[in-house]
Amino acid sequence: MPAQKEGFEGVFLGENCWYAIRISGGMLQKIKYIAAYQTQPVSAITHYAPVDRIEPYGEEGKYKIFFSEKAQVMTPIPFGDAPQGSMQGPRYTSFSTLKNAKKLTDVL
């Protein structure tokens, strides 16, 4: 999920959740972890957290993800040579792919 500095620090790290997320209906039961892509100047995936539960959020078919524990720092996965706009919405991958990625295109 793309995150700007204020939201990332206050919500992802501070509240152990993330919300107003668009999630494809077929993916709801498959999501076990969430990772945060920090926008510029960081421009990298820097943290992940295991998912405790996902609940509807608001009136527009979006969701709120609650973490089962605090987000963990990971080796940053830089934007690198990914196409512009690659992180403007949710992306799905496996946990092993995420943990082994060296750059964003390895995740996509």
pLDDT at 1: 63
Q: Contact, 87 vs 37, CB < 8 A?
A: yes
The string of pLDDT tens digits covering residues 20-62 is 999 988 999 999 999 999 999 999 999 999 999 999 998 888 9
The string of pLDDT tens digits covering residues 7-16 is 899 999 999 9
Sign of CA dihedral 64, 90, 84, 60: negative
Token pair 């196409």 in the structure block, residue: 83
Mean pLDDT across the stretch 77-82? 94
Question: Structural domain boundaries of the chain?
Answer: 2-107
Nearest to 13 by CA among 64, 54, 48, 63: 48
